[in-house]
Structure 1
């Protein structure tokens, strides 16, 4: 069928259906090619041979075009006559549209998609069984302004008389990338009014609308569509309305309307309203007398409701949430309010009602400018904590604040603020928070600025950091604060081979006077049988009381030689640390060191408040890359053998026992420790070494680069005993000190470790069955003591987004601990009168999974079980189910757990039930509902849209 331009130009062609409406454009009128008399008109039909149009002048038919009830348009008078023409008989001709366009709305089942599109669907929407696909049509890929494009019309029959064009049969009107189809069309150029009847199909990229009839005031865009259905492909949103009215300002008013993101025929959830307004300029809709139904069951009602029609933000109440139930808070109900202040500013106010604790209000303000971004949050209980049983904060005000800010002065210079504070150490355990804070224990209170300088051959960084840490653990020491820390670091590629690295760090360390955790005891403000305890702190003892400044310097030169068959890297390094200390008692320090370090005696003359240590070091690291072709179980591999040898020497410099422990501790031993230059973290201990590390790694690698298997094993051979170490029982001279472990066994283990001629044997083994299934084993065997120091075995299987299964076992050999009473004091045997020692080995299992339920399309089960085999107790039990579809998700799970800070011999079991309802396109009806607990299931992806 040939297509021609209309024999006239409309002042505007605007068709508004759902959220995408053609904008009006004024154009000048065109004249008919021939002058017609008042009682004649053109009549055109398709030629019988299909060669084009056959047009002729025929007598004028009597009757005027029937008008729509809104907008009101006066009848058109017959040219040259006083009387009005009578209504012409209606003629209906079937339109050539797919029979299922009204019911399927461009929905295509996954079985009919291309392979590439099907794979994309499974990655992006693993629970969807199909998607919306707009069919190919003329103008679909038109680029440019459609309002300036010519209007092209096509129909089986057309007539034009007295400014009215009549199109009948398979009517198609196209302008740019927009297209309207109907059975009939009547266009009045004088009144700028159009009426369309029968099988209305409107298309625009990403939008499809179908209806029965449409009337449009073409010069203003005011358009009405009856019995309409619509779909927006990208957002997967569809709906229906008895009447859709598009106003001049492009807002849409829908009577008796629905909205959902479920596929056609799926009544998973649906929003309905007596009247719905869609505003494309803001990206939000409003509904009056809104009802949300799930599987046709009403679950939510609101007399007035905001909801999104795209990704933009809008002020208004979000969905009220029921967070679930737990033993300490009861049932929780939230009603968040979102305030879209400006495109780069917003705020959220979240009232939280907890049936056992009271009313809590959370406020968060966010901002973003060209150089700044951040958020400020405030939360607090109004009227105090109402939980009375076993709660030391009963009737007390409890609050939490946080602020995060980042300033980008230039491409190289930045500054950051990270601050959080709470009324008490239990706040986050009791309430958690939706505010954006970086750490839950301890809380950061930090201001930092950094400058990155240099070029391709000389990179350096300068940093100024003021960092306080608020302890949120009731049974732990307060950490040191850095007030401030100034650091300069960098590397210089001096030649093609010579590399120079340097670091200079100055830090002043301080902390509160009462920082040292002693014990928990029954709270003095409550009866002894209340079950409420308080932590006891003091100022510490011996060297651990130190505060003051530390200056650390490090500089090194290396000469790496890298070849395809191996590498050789000789390096030299010098490290130096210097202190200026205060808050020390000389007698305490000497007594503390003599009780903690067995290898020498200290006297009063050794004491100093300004210790300093400088240690040079030399190392040579080398390795070979050997490979061969191999065949394993019928598969071809590249088999590698990668031996590695590293020699490290650093002399012993005495007096480091007088160095405080500001940020330093022993690092655990593993396969990677074989190649480390220091066995301590931090700068307060500069390790001595005269050792040779031997090890090798072997791999099986497929031709496509996939590593099937890797195994590494090694050991360190010591030529001298290690002289530098950290005393295990520093501070034990404090009269309030209560040991938690067997000091004698601990000291003996330390002696054995420092005097042994070899390290434990460390190995790692990784086998990748497939790209989705792996087994990992880490093993440390102490051959000198004939025991396993550490062992970990982890199996992971994740074949798809919806399937994950994990099993893990971990073991660590540790010295025995003292059994505890309910008040956290050491248990005394009534017969012997001595503290009772029990096993303290870490022996725990961890099993977690998330897996579709067999013979169901959308149901999955999830769970996690952590078990402490040493103390024969459950650490965490979690089990739940999830229903996930293309349009909504439901999660319901139960959790039982003990806190890590609980008395290990008398833990308190806690439990809760959590429900989460997520309607895709509307959001969550139940907030977070404990979904953070599901993140412990490795491989489980929380997919919410």
Structure 2
């Protein structure tokens, strides 16, 4: 490529003199100067070199001929002849080659006109980012050929006229007169068109337009032509301020040709906070609505995934309110998300000051029904008001009082219980004794709940109430021992833990259930006082949980190499309280046995497993095992096994791996290289059902100045329905992308997937 000496300015640009050099210099002082042989004219921001150079100081005009080279503002030009006004940067050059430092692009042109310092026009030109090889017949893999190319360096935008894109010597796409980026700066304009293909919508062609409204606001409008349905227009508007932020997404498809109806979707998310003299205030709005029950089925591949918007946290109470505002995010939920047919809409407002905080929430649901799998609408909260006063280390004591009032509403004829108002008062106090070698924390809790039913008696009453106390003691010890692991000093810990809880039996079968469910049985819940989440039920308990954990830690950094744990409950009395009157509760004796562990041998190998084992049946109730091998960038192999007895059993494997030089450079020193193929695959097989749940196969190719991606995916949506998608994309580095990107799908399907050109 072209080479020029770096610009050096010993004085400020406005006062630095013009520097002239050549083998021979002649002329009149203050008038014309003629330079011959390695002629050089240099000013801040401009270098002109040529075999011969004439400079008229009166007109500030420089005329160059023979091997002319001009460098200005990070751009380099080389041609046969040229002329330029030095201060204004106005001029031209003939039969030239150019290079732009900011994105590595280069090309040739019959002529270039320097309009001013920021604007340049090239005629009969080429444009590419492919690096030139030192071979006589070299040609770029891709090139834009344009009758005219206008460059705006202020906006970092190039606009091609009468242009087309050529790939591997074959013209593949005419280019309309629209702008393309010369850098990574955000800018308004049309984005590259994308293509998609699935078995529902047929061929899809999308032409997005990006609107850079302001540094903190932007919008993307994407018309999509669906061969089977019509024209669907999606939009996304984002905004960010110091005390609020949000996103609004819409999708509109008039007169769907397959459903003979208008289709639409809306997802709105807003979060705000305000610090006042009375405390922090925060509020949030999350709205998710679609036009009809079949939306989730027809537009699964277009669905917006749930997002959590991050931003300023605010005060303690405001942070809680913002967290509550963002806790339900199923906007156009992804097909793999499970809550595919439940769309929440809710409003949250919170306030916090000192030790007190409160939150108001209103929540409603839209249920997308399926005739073969009816879903009863979840209870709506109209509204829910919570308050909390908490003190930590108050004279050595921790204590808190929580209050909750909620209005629950659904279809009483379907739920089998009345709509109601519910009030909750929950207090707890504990006295932790903490030391490096261990801890002991006794705790007392008192949980009170009361109901007022709507115009309907439930178990012969128009209301109900219950008060249940709980006593618990949590204790643990920590033993440490240093040892050598190879040449590394590690700390091995042995951490026995004992947790006792006593909750007397209180009759609760007559209480309705609005938000309560059984806790998952794991290493976290086994040390909880209540077997249920929510406020409707408090489990009676007289049990002792014993556990043992051992960790292997780096003595210097605290990093964890391995962790192993076991835990089991001993229940001294039967548990009588269940989720409802017909549900079975736990019997006295030993619970299932939990065994788990994780090993990080090094940065390449990771293993983890969990086993829930029933000692009475001598069978595993649930087990998971996983392994990941990642020896370097763009190399990862994942394997997982998951079993839930009599419910599901799956093997899930995925991989991203180079197909050429498979094991070469597999260490940490590897860098991404051009000319390499990468294989991509995922297979999620259900042993329980005897069929594939999700399948993905694909390939990526990095050629240096262009990338190619082809991915095929099949996802099972139900017993008799599946969606198949084809992703194909060509990325012309530094210019544009053609096709539909599979990168989000790959990131969701392959843990630790690394996008090419991304950070390893």
Give your verdict on TM over 0.5.
yes
The range that moved more, 216-225 or 187-196, is 216-225
CA contact (8 A) 1:200 1:210 kept: yes
Partner of 1:714: 567
Pair 1:477 & 2:376 matched: yes
The range that moved more, 771-780 or 499-508, is 499-508
1:540 to 411, 414, 419: 414
Q: How does 1:529-608 map to 2 (within 5 A)?
A: 539-543=413-417, 546-582=418-454, 584=456, 586=457, 590=459, 607-608=460-461
> What is the CA–CA distance in structure 2 between the aligned matches of 1:151 and 1:891, rounded to whole Å?
51
Evaluate the alpha carbon distance shift between residue 318 and residue 569 of structure 1 in structure 2; reply closer, same or farther with a 3 A threshold: same
CA contact (8 A) 1:273 1:291 kept: yes
Partner of 1:423: 291
> What is the CA–CA distance in structure 2 between the aligned matches of 1:812 and 1:794, rounded to whole Å?
15
> What is the CA–CA distance in structure 2 between the aligned matches of 1:267 and 1:709, rounded to whole Å?
50
Structure 1: unaligned runs, 5 residues or longer = 1-100, 107-134, 388-393, 514-538, 591-606, 730-746, 815-840
1:91-131: CA deviation from partner (whole Å, max 9, x where unpaired): xxxxxxxxxx42xx69xxxxxxxxxxxxxxxxxxxxxxxxx
> What is the CA–CA distance in structure 1 between the aligned matches of 2:72 and 2:432, rounded to whole Å?
62
Q: Give the Å deviation of 1:381.
A: 2.1
Pair 1:446 & 2:446 matched: no
2:549 to 687, 697, 700: 697
1:306-334: CA deviation from partner (whole Å, max 9, x where unpaired): 2112334444433322112x222211122
Q: Alignment partner of 1:671: what SS?
A: coil
Pair 1:321 & 2:321 matched: no
Partner of 2:132: 264
- Say which one has the larger Rg: 1
Partner of 1:842: 648
Q: Alignment partner of 2:296: what SS?
A: helix
Partner of 2:388: 489
Aligned length: 701
Pair 1:621 & 2:474 matched: yes
Evaluate the alpha carbon distance shift between residue 170 and residue 505 of structure 1 in structure 2; reply closer, same or farther with a 3 A threshold: farther
Evaluate the alpha carbon distance shift between residue 880 and residue 169 of structure 1 in structure 2; reply closer, same or farther with a 3 A threshold: same
1:328-369: CA deviation from partner (whole Å, max 9, x where unpaired): 221112222334455555443322222222332223344445
> What is the CA–CA distance in structure 2 between the aligned matches of 1:564 and 1:281, rounded to whole Å?
61
Evaluate the alpha carbon distance shift between residue 328 and residue 728 of structure 1 in structure 2; reply closer, same or farther with a 3 A threshold: farther
Pair 1:307 & 2:180 matched: yes
Partner of 1:688: 540
Pair 1:409 & 2:274 matched: yes
Give the CA RMSD over aligned residues. 2.9
Partner of 1:352: 224
> What is the CA–CA distance in structure 2 between the aligned matches of 1:194 and 1:614, rounded to whole Å?
94
Q: Give the Å deviation of 1:851.
A: 0.9
Partner of 1:659: 511
CA contact (8 A) 1:361 1:382 kept: no
> What is the CA–CA distance in structure 2 between the aligned matches of 1:871 and 1:288, rounded to whole Å?
57
> What is the CA–CA distance in structure 2 between the aligned matches of 1:712 and 1:182, rounded to whole Å?
76
1:163-191: CA deviation from partner (whole Å, max 9, x where unpaired): 12233444444445654444443221111
CA contact (8 A) 1:608 1:658 kept: no
The range that moved more, 248-257 or 403-412, is 403-412
Evaluate the alpha carbon distance shift between residue 366 and residue 640 of structure 1 in structure 2; reply closer, same or farther with a 3 A threshold: closer
> What is the CA–CA distance in structure 2 between the aligned matches of 1:843 and 1:430, rounded to whole Å?
28
> What is the CA–CA distance in structure 2 between the aligned matches of 1:205 and 1:191, rounded to whole Å?
22
CA contact (8 A) 2:727 2:740 kept: no
> What is the CA–CA distance in structure 2 between the aligned matches of 1:541 and 1:429, rounded to whole Å?
26
Q: How does 1:53-64 map to 2 (within 5 A)?
A: none
2:600 to 746, 761, 768: 768
Q: Give the Å deviation of 1:809.
A: 0.7
> What is the CA–CA distance in structure 2 between the aligned matches of 1:512 and 1:886, rounded to whole Å?
60
1:719-750: CA deviation from partner (whole Å, max 9, x where unpaired): 22212211386xxxxxxxxxxxxxxxxx6xx3
Q: Give the Å deviation of 1:702.
A: 3.6
Pair 1:610 & 2:463 matched: yes
Q: Alignment partner of 1:381: what SS?
A: strand
Q: Which has the higher strand share?
A: 2
Q: Give the Å deviation of 1:419.
A: 0.9
The range that moved more, 871-880 or 888-897, is 888-897
Evaluate the alpha carbon distance shift between residue 886 and residue 206 of structure 1 in structure 2; reply closer, same or farther with a 3 A threshold: farther
1:241 to 109, 120, 124: 109
Pair 1:645 & 2:505 matched: no
Structure 2: unaligned runs, 5 residues or longer = 134-138, 307-328, 334-339, 663-674
Evaluate the alpha carbon distance shift between residue 631 and residue 376 of structure 1 in structure 2; reply closer, same or farther with a 3 A threshold: closer
1:576-602: CA deviation from partner (whole Å, max 9, x where unpaired): 222222264x4xx54xxxxxxxxxxxx
Partner of 1:679: 531
Evaluate the alpha carbon distance shift between residue 303 and residue 633 of structure 1 in structure 2; reply closer, same or farther with a 3 A threshold: closer
Evaluate the alpha carbon distance shift between residue 898 and residue 277 of structure 1 in structure 2; reply closer, same or farther with a 3 A threshold: same
> What is the CA–CA distance in structure 1 between the aligned matches of 2:537 and 2:161, rounded to whole Å?
69
Q: How does 1:453-472 map to 2 (within 5 A)?
A: 453-454=353-354, 458=355, 460-472=356-368
The range that moved more, 712-721 or 147-156, is 147-156
Q: How does 1:118-197 map to 2 (within 5 A)?
A: 137=6, 139=8, 146-161=13-28, 163-176=31-44, 179-197=47-65
Partner of 2:88: 220
Evaluate the alpha carbon distance shift between residue 649 and residue 728 of structure 1 in structure 2; reply closer, same or farther with a 3 A threshold: closer
CA contact (8 A) 2:626 2:640 kept: yes
CA contact (8 A) 2:711 2:742 kept: no
Evaluate the alpha carbon distance shift between residue 153 and residue 682 of structure 1 in structure 2; reply closer, same or farther with a 3 A threshold: farther
CA contact (8 A) 1:779 1:792 kept: yes
> What is the CA–CA distance in structure 2 between the aligned matches of 1:236 and 1:659, rounded to whole Å?
70
Evaluate the alpha carbon distance shift between residue 728 and residue 297 of structure 1 in structure 2; reply closer, same or farther with a 3 A threshold: farther
Q: Give the Å deviation of 1:552.
A: 2.2
Q: Give the Å deviation of 1:845.
A: 0.7
Q: Give the Å deviation of 1:915.
A: 1.4
Evaluate the alpha carbon distance shift between residue 908 and residue 152 of structure 1 in structure 2; reply closer, same or farther with a 3 A threshold: same
Q: Give the Å deviation of 1:717.
A: 1.3
Q: Give the Å deviation of 1:371.
A: 4.4
CA contact (8 A) 2:102 2:183 kept: no
